[in-house]
Structure 1
Amino acid sequence: MATPALCNQVAEKWQRSFAKLNREKEGITGLLEFTQGWLMASDQLRPRDKAGLATKPQYDKAKLRECFEIIRACNLHAVFLDDYLDAIGRQLPAITNDIDFYMKMYEREPTAEHIANLISIAARWQRAWAPLPEMGASALSAFTCTFQTHLYSILPPSFTTGFRDLISATFDFTSFEAAPQWLLTRFPCPHGIPRPDFTLWTIMQELGLIERYETLILSVCYERIEGHVLEASEKVWDRQMLQEMRDWMSREVVPWLTMPYARDARSAEHATMLMKNVGSRLDYHVCKTLADLRTREIFDIIIDYPDSRPALDDMKECLQRVDQRSQLVQSLRKANRRRLLHPGADTKLILTQYVSIIRCLRIVDPQGVLLFKVADPIRRYLRDRPDTIRCIVASLVGDGESGDSLVDENEPIQPINQTQLEDYTDPNWEPEPMDAGPEFRANKPSDIISTLISIYDSQELFVKELQILLAQRLLAITDGNFDRERRNIEILKIRFGEAALQVCEVMLRDMTDSRRTDQHIQQQKASDLHPTIISRHFWPPLQANTFVMPGQFRKIQEDYASEFHVFKPDKKLLWMSHLGSINLQVELDDRTVEVEVPPLEAAFIELFSEQDEWSVPELVEKVGSIERPQAIKALVTWVELGVLKEDSPDHYRLLKTAEESGSAAKSSGKQPTAVVEELPPVVTVQQQQAEQMRVFWKFIEGMLTNLGQLPLDRIQQMLKFAPNYDRNIDQLAAFMEAARREGLVTVTNGVWKLQRD
């Protein structure tokens, strides 16, 4: 039972509430006015069902404004708004059936028209239930939030796809003629508006769809951009496409964006300001899409260089806008491993591609960070190839007869490894890029040849290979024109220095002196022999396989040597009979064979002038210092020319008449000139190194004999005391592994010992 205190408290509150609603008027007049105003306002704002959706009841604005003033005077406008929103919440399920109806139609027939109809009916519901302006902005904001929250909650996942289709379709609504009839019917455009989809965007703005699905709207733009960039720019490398894509975006995409982002702009400047942020995002996406495309094509772009120079310029500009340098490095390194760095690729091809990579990446990244990261696997792979040095040297001396030399004729000739210290006082000096690794050095050699030679730690190998290649080229010259080689030597002096090329100058001088000496001897006593006379100590080692020329050839050599001794009494000729070529006329009973053959073939046919039949061992014994395979090969040459016939294994007979030699001997008269196989007369660097390691084997064998067993680093330390030993531990390891395969040594846990019989 209530206490008197509680009754007094309730009565006091009742009196305060009554006074608040009655507003100090007589009797209950004020309370009746408040009740009438509340009911009138509630009835006017009551959410209508579908029957009242088309039209909204008319109302007396002055009377309704008076009702709201009474409610505010009673300080119950917040309570009234809550009651209004509760009524909205109770009626919201009325729109669910419409949403479900149009979404089911879209799912059966996915066209943008159904989504447009859904947006139209949702907008009609929102406008029908919207609060009156007299309620103020806060009431409108609260209603919008409540309505749209419910609307978004009942939209199925498929609405996102449908909305994307509708947004994508608006790209084609550029004119009233192109707009479909359902757009003009559902969303009639006000007079004077140039775009037929103006009303559609306005309604989507009212429903909050533009803000809610802003990412989706932009994704439609991104898809358009990506599709156009791929269609217009794929494999198009002979012109710059970035500016073309930007111009296309300005013509096609930016005007479309004025609807969602600058529809209410008051001027062109105002529209530009409103779209500044989104325009920057689209330009970024253009650069990113083109950069992605060029990154995927980078290997083929490099192959197509210099015709693909415009694509590289685009790539450079895109990378300044988009941070995709690491993706470019990874893509190119992966393509190099798959398409370049494998045993099936020729070394010259790898070097050519590497040079193109250097030139292309210097365009994309002049500071060289990208090149530094991409080149490392290529350099390591080339370092392990045995013929890399020879290919580089061949380009240095202009041996690229096919026109694909690694040296650019327009590139200035610079000394090898001519690096300059950075001048920090230079106002144009820039620090190393942020993504440069700890081993990166910005002051590396800039010319192509210096970069190629820097693959190896020392220039000594290149100088030796230069000497060998120059020796081969000089020995191959028969017309006495050494101008090209003289020019090459002068260029190489600039690159390697004069000291490294002294031996090459001696070789060139030997060739000119040899020609003058031969001319003098020919004047004293004419001879069919025209030898090349060289200073043996200044030339690379020549292939050792000398033999004795028989018969008239020996007589010619002896006569020439006698005249040479008269001309230069302090010198003596040592004949390298296995080098050179001889022009012969072989006169048989019914034909004459004219050929140019190596000396060994000439020696054998000379012996057949003494007797008609010879065995291979007899021929080898006559000339001496040759292997059996060489002898067989020389004899086969004459068999193919129809001069000799193999009657039985290792027994050959001279065919004096052609009838005995089968189809090859039936032709009479002159025979075609035999092809002389071009063998390298100079021992290569690899052969020289192998021969030197055989000498060092004696030292290794002595170590292991006296000390029992040794680890590899200990063997390396002791070999440093051997004369002229300059190998590193990796080269020693390769040699020891070869010795192990031959059964000379064994290895256990890194310790080497001799193999005992």
Structure 2
Amino acid sequence: MNFQPHEKLSKHVVSKWSASFGRLNREQTGITGLLSFSEAWTIARDFLYPRDLTDASPPPPKKIRDVKAAFDVLAQCKMLPVLMEDFLEDMHKQQYLVTREIKIFMDKYDATSDPQYIAKMAIRVVEWYKGWSPPSELGGTLAAAYTLNFQTHIYSVLPPSFTRGFKALLNLTFNLVHMASVPEWMSSLVPANHPPPARADSPLWSAFDKLGLLDRYESLVSSVCYEYIEAYILETCTKRWDESMLVAIREWMTDNIVPWMIMPYARGARNAEEARSMLQGVGSRLDFHVCKTLTDLRTSEIFDIIVDYPDSSGALHDLKECLQRVDQRSQLVQTLRKANNKRLLHPGADTKDILTQYVSIIRCLRIVDPPGVLLYKVADPIRRYLRDRPDTIRCIVASLVGDGESGDSLVDDNEPIQPLQQQQEEDYSDPNWEPEPIDAGPEFRTNKPSDIISTLVSIYDSKELFVKELQVLLAQRLLAITDGNYEKERRNIEILKIRFGESALQVCEVMLRDMTDSKRTDTHIQAQKSSNLHATVISKHFWPPLQSGKFQMPGQLKELREKYAKEFHLFKPDKKLNWLPHLGTLKLDIELDDRTISAEVPPLEAACIELFSQKDEWSVKELIEQMAGSMESTAIIKALGTWIDLGILKEEGEDVYRLLNTAEEGDQGHRPSTRPAMTIDEEPPVTSLQQQEAAQMQVFWKFIEGMLTNLGTLSLDRIQSMLKFAPGYDRNIEQLGGFMEAARREGLVTVKDGMWKLQR
């Protein structure tokens, strides 16, 4: 048999034993060195052993000289690592003592929610930490291992309620920084025979640092600052928009937050410059949180801030600066669009109010974001909604010409009057050219006019609609002037020429010229033969369509018109008057047996009462026949109602009316002698743009009806393509869709799966 492997193993064991023995015996004679090592090991183990600090009996005295000598022997024998392992093992066995004390303090806190027990526990645990800490002579490795093991054990035994208690204690220390006196229990944390610290909370922060709580709960420490910042901003800045608050908030942080931050974040600073350097990182994070909190607040208030503009300019400038640090532009857009949909873009909102808010949005978002990306994203649904409103163009035009009844103007008087801005191509050769913002949409550049009027007009594809509405509104305003003073309208036309161009306002100039010429013509006629009739003569082909209605003026009124027309023909033989009998007003004195009543009324009402001078009783049917009109009976009944209100007529039966030559008992003296001016003519004399378009679409309806009759069902695109062959058709498919939907509501057509057909 071969025993060679056993012999090699035996030699290896003998070699290791000899080396270990030599190291422990230190080359001394016999086993002298081994005995001295054994004694040194016992002294060192006994010195390092973690003792129970709650034991009142004093530990056996040890001479520090003997302890140092024992560590020197172990160092020579290279046994300090083994000693460290034994020490850590002993500490692990004794850690239940620390756990027991932690539980005592935490039970007290859970019962009272008083953070002083968290503070006392921290100070007490630090005593255990210092009491068990190995001497520095053993080197940094043992100290680091000890600290890691001790702190790990502390973390493992802290109950969940510690987080709540630790945060409450942090809040308490925040208040202590600004208190003239401190609680008695806080003063008791300073050990006896120690000078008082510069700050009452210094012992606590030192304990937190020793136990590693500041690093482990760094987010909790920061959250205290965050919560104070949030509370201060909500308290001082909510609904306060008239001034910039960001500078004041930062000053408040310097006075209140920074002094507290020195202990957790700059404890080791030797001077102010070092402290400033150490606080720079956390200070930047806190400033970011200030901007984020203020941005969140202003974002939640953005709709009301815009309503309050320009008084809210301070809040807008704060928001602009904050958004440069905080990437919350998309949240601002979403919040404002949601608020607009809820509070603005609904049938209950007046178009004038929507336009006013839209203009404020334009001005406000240009402050917050000068490139206009936010405005482009917010304005899109507003523009689409306004485009579908039938009176949007009228409201914009009314503001352009300074319509007093439309409220505040959409145009700022301080803004320079300038032509409408057209879309411009990118000039990449411009040395000042800048790329699009990263969050800009593909259509951004082509939808960014700078002045308010250009922005409003760009809601629609063409400015021709505005020019037509300008003509309608100007016609109404000119016809409403009774004193012959057209200077205001002349000035409006000159301003509108700058905006829309000379050619677009030529028709308006003709209308203005008609009014001045009409004034001169009337003056000439009155000079030739004085008359109570004053007519306004206009050129039919240069004016928007006027409200239609034909009837014969009876009696005196008819004679006045005929005489005036005769004099006009003598003055201008090449022209002939075509009267519009339903337009204008008449001032009448109604002489009855016992009273005289003055009234200012439209021609139809004057014609009705004129007929009662022939006989005292008329039916509605007879009145219509006498005036040879095509009006409905409701118009006659409405006209008669004016004279009933004034106590001149009385309804005798169904559609039969009688003149009251003598006032009925109790009526005389209790009726108004003059009809209120506001009810003279409730319907404007000029046909509105919507009425003109509706009338024109009625013509096109004949074409649509013929298509659907001959071809059956058709899609909207097919109807649109075929209508393009109709004379004068210039509508887009969206306008056609709106018309077809209106026809569907009236029961003329039906639609299914996008296919339209006639209703049978």
With normalisation by structure 2, the TM-score equals 0.96
Q: CA deviation at 1:711?
A: 3.3
Q: CA deviation at 1:193?
A: 4.2
Q: Within the alignment, does 1:446 sit opposite 2:482 as a pair?
A: no
The corresponding residue for 1:93 is 96
Q: Retained in 2: the 8 A contact 1:367–1:442?
A: no
Change over 3 Å in CA distance of 1:205–1:431 after alignment to 2: same
Aligned residue pairs, count = 754
Q: CA deviation at 1:171?
A: 1.1
The corresponding residue for 2:174 is 171
Match of 1:123, as an amino acid? V
The corresponding residue for 1:641 is 646
**Distance (Å, rounded) in 2 between the aligned partners of 1:171 and 1:717:** 75
The corresponding residue for 1:597 is 601
Match of 1:30, as an amino acid? G
The corresponding residue for 2:152 is 149
**Distance (Å, rounded) in 2 between the aligned partners of 1:204 and 1:53:** 27
Q: CA deviation at 1:147?
A: 0.7
Change over 3 Å in CA distance of 1:483–1:283 after alignment to 2: same
The corresponding residue for 1:701 is 705
Match of 1:686, as an amino acid? Q
The one of 374, 379, 384 aligned to 2:388: 384
The corresponding residue for 1:128 is 131
Change over 3 Å in CA distance of 1:261–1:54 after alignment to 2: farther
Match of 1:712, as an amino acid? L
The corresponding residue for 1:255 is 259
Match of 1:457, as an amino acid? D
Q: CA deviation at 1:667?
A: 4.2
Q: Retained in 2: the 8 A contact 1:592–1:671?
A: no
Moved more, 702-711 or 490-499: 702-711
**Distance (Å, rounded) in 1 between the aligned partners of 2:651 and 2:422:** 62
| 1:35-50 correspondence to structure 2 within 5 Å | 35-50=38-53
Q: CA deviation at 1:741?
A: 4.4
Q: Retained in 1: the 8 A contact 2:399–2:406?
A: no
Q: CA deviation at 1:746?
A: 4.6
**Distance (Å, rounded) in 2 between the aligned partners of 1:618 and 1:103:** 103
SS of aligned partner of 2:188: helix
Q: CA deviation at 1:698?
A: 2.7
Q: Retained in 2: the 8 A contact 1:445–1:451?
A: yes
Q: Retained in 1: the 8 A contact 2:553–2:607?
A: yes
The corresponding residue for 2:324 is 320
| 1:182-211 deviation per Cα after TM superposition (whole angstroms, max 9, x unaligned) | 111113596474311112111111111111
The one of 9, 15, 23 aligned to 1:12: 15
Identity of aligned residues (%): 62
Q: Within the alignment, does 1:303 sit opposite 2:296 as a pair?
A: no
Match of 2:68, as an amino acid? R
The corresponding residue for 1:239 is 243
**Distance (Å, rounded) in 2 between the aligned partners of 1:391 and 1:670:** 36
| 1:167-246 correspondence to structure 2 within 5 Å | 167-174=170-177, 177-187=180-190, 191=195, 193-246=197-250
**Distance (Å, rounded) in 1 between the aligned partners of 2:407 and 2:690:** 27
SS of aligned partner of 1:50: coil
Match of 1:657, as an amino acid? T
The one of 632, 636, 640 aligned to 2:637: 632
Moved more, 744-753 or 39-48: 744-753
Q: Within the alignment, does 1:727 sit opposite 2:735 as a pair?
A: no
Q: Retained in 2: the 8 A contact 1:53–1:125?
A: no
| 1:719-757 deviation per Cα after TM superposition (whole angstroms, max 9, x unaligned) | 21221110112222333344444454454544444455x
Moved more, 716-725 or 279-288: 716-725
**Distance (Å, rounded) in 1 between the aligned partners of 2:496 and 2:616:** 54
Q: Within the alignment, does 1:459 sit opposite 2:459 as a pair?
A: no
Q: CA deviation at 1:627?
A: 1.2
Q: Retained in 1: the 8 A contact 2:177–2:259?
A: no
The corresponding residue for 1:107 is 110
| 1:281-332 deviation per Cα after TM superposition (whole angstroms, max 9, x unaligned) | 0111111111110000100000000000000000000001111111111111
**Distance (Å, rounded) in 1 between the aligned partners of 2:424 and 2:722:** 38
With normalisation by structure 1, the TM-score equals 0.96
| 1:643-690 deviation per Cα after TM superposition (whole angstroms, max 9, x unaligned) | 0001111110000111x2x54335489556564133211111111111
**Distance (Å, rounded) in 1 between the aligned partners of 2:712 and 2:481:** 53
SS of aligned partner of 1:435: coil
Match of 2:202, as an amino acid? F
Match of 1:92, as an amino acid? Q
Change over 3 Å in CA distance of 1:435–1:175 after alignment to 2: closer
**Distance (Å, rounded) in 1 between the aligned partners of 2:720 and 2:19:** 108
Structure 1 gaps of 5+ residues are none
**Distance (Å, rounded) in 1 between the aligned partners of 2:293 and 2:446:** 30
Q: Retained in 2: the 8 A contact 1:172–1:179?
A: no
Q: CA deviation at 1:709?
A: 4.6
Change over 3 Å in CA distance of 1:58–1:232 after alignment to 2: farther
**Distance (Å, rounded) in 2 between the aligned partners of 1:56 and 1:501:** 109
Q: CA deviation at 1:273?
A: 0.7
The corresponding residue for 2:414 is 410
| 1:100-123 deviation per Cα after TM superposition (whole angstroms, max 9, x unaligned) | 111111111001111011101111
Change over 3 Å in CA distance of 1:388–1:664 after alignment to 2: farther
Match of 1:346, as an amino acid? D
Q: Retained in 1: the 8 A contact 2:190–2:196?
A: no
Change over 3 Å in CA distance of 1:312–1:748 after alignment to 2: closer
Q: Retained in 2: the 8 A contact 1:175–1:194?
A: no
Q: Retained in 1: the 8 A contact 2:320–2:369?
A: yes
SS of aligned partner of 1:540: coil
Change over 3 Å in CA distance of 1:452–1:263 after alignment to 2: same
Q: Within the alignment, does 1:271 sit opposite 2:275 as a pair?
A: yes
Q: Retained in 2: the 8 A contact 1:347–1:388?
A: yes
SS of aligned partner of 1:194: coil
Match of 1:333, as an amino acid? R
SS of aligned partner of 1:664: coil
Change over 3 Å in CA distance of 1:416–1:194 after alignment to 2: same
**Distance (Å, rounded) in 2 between the aligned partners of 1:360 and 1:455:** 19
The one of 655, 659, 662 aligned to 2:660: 655
SS of aligned partner of 1:584: strand
Q: CA deviation at 1:262?
A: 1.0
The corresponding residue for 1:470 is 474
**Distance (Å, rounded) in 2 between the aligned partners of 1:237 and 1:430:** 32
The corresponding residue for 2:78 is 75
| 1:396-450 deviation per Cα after TM superposition (whole angstroms, max 9, x unaligned) | 1111446511011011112113344444455543221111122211772111111
Match of 1:629, as an amino acid? T
**Distance (Å, rounded) in 2 between the aligned partners of 1:311 and 1:477:** 45
Q: Within the alignment, does 1:576 sit opposite 2:576 as a pair?
A: no
Match of 1:560, as an amino acid? Y
Q: Within the alignment, does 1:351 sit opposite 2:355 as a pair?
A: yes
Change over 3 Å in CA distance of 1:14–1:426 after alignment to 2: same
Structure 2 gaps of 5+ residues are none
The one of 510, 527, 544 aligned to 1:523: 527
Moved more, 148-157 or 407-416: 407-416
Match of 1:149, as an amino acid? T
Moved more, 40-49 or 179-188: 179-188
The corresponding residue for 2:610 is 606
Change over 3 Å in CA distance of 1:181–1:398 after alignment to 2: same
Q: Retained in 1: the 8 A contact 2:646–2:673?
A: no
Match of 1:589, as an amino acid? D
**Distance (Å, rounded) in 1 between the aligned partners of 2:60 and 2:99:** 24
| 1:130-176 deviation per Cα after TM superposition (whole angstroms, max 9, x unaligned) | 00121111111110001111111000000000000000100121267
